[in-house]
């Protein structure tokens, strides 16, 4: 967005979000083509950057729709980091690196148990059997 003129940023941001929220690679490519047609005279360098990173940024779209949000966001990692910060805030002074490792290790073990028992974040059998198609 740094390469985009300020007056066009809102429109361009809406279109870029549409690319990332597309339900398939084909749809995302169509939106990118539309953007190139509409903005090529204004945003040549920004569109070049978007096009160069397109396949890497949208690799998740090759997986089933159910997994898009789970693979695209980092909500579970952010939640874990918040829990670590909350717990370390209670301890005012750590007596050494080993005590930090013990606290963080216990939090990670607790989260691991919770995820192993209660939830299936990604069904690995389905994930492993899925054929990736980038075109």
* Whole-angstrom distance, CA of residue 19 vs CA of residue 68: 13
- 111-126 tens-digit pLDDT: 888 777 766 666 667 6
Which of the four pLDDT bands, split at 50, 70 and 90, describes residue 56?
confident
- 23-38 tens-digit pLDDT: 888 888 999 899 888 8
Which class for 35: exposed (0-12), middle (13-18), buried (19 or more C-beta within 10 A)?
Answer: buried
* Whole-angstrom distance, CA of residue 38 vs CA of residue 22: 18
């Amino acid at each position: 967005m740094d390469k985009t003129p300020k007056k066009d940023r809102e429109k361009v941001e809406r279109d870029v979000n549409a690319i990332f929220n597309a339900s398939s690679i084909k749809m995302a490519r169509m939106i990118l083509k539309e953007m190139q047609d509409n903005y090529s005279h204004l945003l040549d360098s920004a569109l070049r950057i978007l096009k160069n990173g397109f396949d890497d940024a949208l690799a998740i779209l090759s997986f089933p729709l159910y997994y898009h949000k789970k693979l695209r966001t980092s909500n579970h990692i952010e939640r874990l980091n918040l829990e670590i910060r909350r717990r370390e805030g209670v301890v005012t002074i750590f007596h050494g690196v080993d005590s930090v490792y013990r606290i963080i290790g216990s939090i990670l073990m607790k989260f691991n148990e919770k995820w192993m028992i209660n939830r299936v974040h990604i069904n690995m059998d389905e994930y492993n059997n899925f054929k990736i198609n980038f075109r």
